[in-house]
Amino acid sequence: MSGHYERKKRPPSAGKILLIVLVVIVVLLAALAIAIVIYYNSMLNKMNHVDVPDIVYTQATTEATAATTSPTAETTQVTTVATTEPPHVPSSADYLNILLVGQASRDGEEERFADTSILCTLNTYTKTLTMTSLLRDSFVKMPDYKGHYGGRIKLTTIYHLGSIYGDGPAGSMELMNMTLYNNFGIEVDHNFEVSFDAFIKVVDMLGGVDVELTEAEADYLNDDDVWVLYDVEPGPAHLDGMAALCYVRMRKAAGDNESDITRTSRQRQVIESLLDKLKRRSLSTIQDIVNEVLPLVTTSMSNSEITDLLMTLIPMLPELQIVDGGTCPANYQGDSVDIYGDGVKHSVLRFDEAQTKKEMRAITEGEISE
């Protein structure tokens, strides 16, 4: 009999098996997380990102502060303990202002006029999103910019001049932000620019938009054989992307008097309708829309800033209320001015700068004037 002894292998213990399973799960979760991050960033990278210099806002605020008094014999005799939290005092920390511009240029065109400008103010405390339309004909003072002296001009033209003087979308956004602050007291935190094509695609991918048409609006749409390829009737109407674009850009329907007021009201109604539709769509539908639209969007936000915004916005979506902020300026007087010194007069809107700043600071920063 040989002295050779063959040892039997012990099966792995339950503890080791559990450890191996846990390691595999952790590795798989880590790989999944990495894949999600890579996919998420690849989606955000589809947007056109531009670097817009920060503006130093120096306007004095009027935020409420706690009153302080010198102690006296009467005030120090009784000590009370607060049993409830003090009322919330609005401050600029509650507000985030995002400027959304629909610019009118098409492929091969150099013009970059701000056809539509809507300020979206997110109040993270009240969970409201206030949409304020900036009137394109507002007669604003352009600040001096990159060696160019600023004069009085229409707000819509500011976006175009910024593109020329500042070399593209970043210049448009920078000059627009400076102008809005100087004339209206608005502190823009972030900018988004959307093309006409992006708007059309969003409307079509959401299945169109429902609006209530007046007889004048229906007649205007029916007269447009380029964007509206079918007839509509007064009353409830369902518009596809191209017809919806014509509807939100409409400013010369009978009774409009070329007014930007009625037009901006239409724009806010359509955007509110689209946002409501978007909230009720499946994740896959939203993903499809994002894939199609993001390449047509330009923003001043970095991927990390967009991520922070989404982390703030998503939890409040079920409670988020959309508020119609009206127009800025809210009060104005129409006038005709020879802006360029060529003898041609242009319709403009004059406004009280001090009053407009008070109103807009209340909406966008929570400041209450005494």
**pLDDT band, very low/low/confident/very high, at 11 (cuts 50, 70, 90):** low
Choice between 54 and 83, residue whose per-residue pLDDT is larger: 54
Tell me how far apart the alpha carbons of residues 237 and 250 are, in angstroms, rounded to a whole number.
Answer: 16
Structure tokens given for 220: 């205007």
- What average pLDDT does this structure show over 46-63? 74
DSSP string, 257-321: TT-HHHHHHHHHHHHHHHHHHHHTS-HHHHHHHHHHHGGGEEES--HHHHHHHHHHHGGGGGG-E
Tell me how far apart the alpha carbons of residues 322 and 272 are, in angstroms, rounded to a whole number.
Answer: 7
Q: Which of 28-42, 182-196, 214-228, 258-272 has the lowest mean pLDDT?
A: 28-42
- Position 186 scores a pLDDT of 96
**pLDDT band, very low/low/confident/very high, at 69 (cuts 50, 70, 90):** very low
The DSSP code for 148 is: B
On the question of pLDDT at 75 being above 50, the answer is: no
**pLDDT band, very low/low/confident/very high, at 76 (cuts 50, 70, 90):** very low
Say which residues have a Cβ less than 8 Å from residue 186's Cβ, sequence separation at least 6. Answer: 97, 119, 180, 328, 360, 364
Q: Which of 10-19, 222-231, 299-308, 357-366 has the lowest mean pLDDT?
A: 10-19
Choice between 368 and 326, residue whose per-residue pLDDT is larger: 326
Tens of pLDDT, residue by residue over 110-127, are 667 888 899 999 999 999
* Most confident among 72-81, 190-199, 309-318, 350-359 (mean pLDDT): 350-359
**pLDDT band, very low/low/confident/very high, at 57 (cuts 50, 70, 90):** confident
- Position 345 scores a pLDDT of 92
Helices 196-205 and 283-293: crossing angle, nearest 10°? 160
CA distances from 242 to 106, 210, 261 (A): 14, 13, 22
The DSSP code for 207 is: T
Tell me how far apart the alpha carbons of residues 223 and 230 are, in angstroms, rounded to a whole number.
Answer: 10
- Position 20 scores a pLDDT of 73
On the question of pLDDT at 354 being above 90, the answer is: yes
Percentage of the chain beyond pLDDT 70 is: 80
> Do 135 and 327 contact (CB within 8 A), yes or no?
yes
Between the CA atoms of 148, 151, 152 and 158, what dihedral angle is there, to the nearest 10 degrees?
10
Give 322: exposed, middle or buried? Use CB within 10 Å, 0-12, 13-18, 19+: middle
Domains of the chain, CATH where assigned = 26-52+89-195+297-370 (3.30.420.590), 207-280 (3.40.630.190)
**pLDDT band, very low/low/confident/very high, at 257 (cuts 50, 70, 90):** low
Tell me how far apart the alpha carbons of residues 204 and 200 are, in angstroms, rounded to a whole number.
Answer: 6
> Do 186 and 198 contact (CB within 8 A), yes or no?
no
Nearest one of 356, 41, 31 to 181, comparing CA atoms: 356
- What average pLDDT does this structure show over 287-316? 86
> Do 93 and 312 contact (CB within 8 A), yes or no?
no
Task: Output the average pLDDT for the chain.
Answer: 81
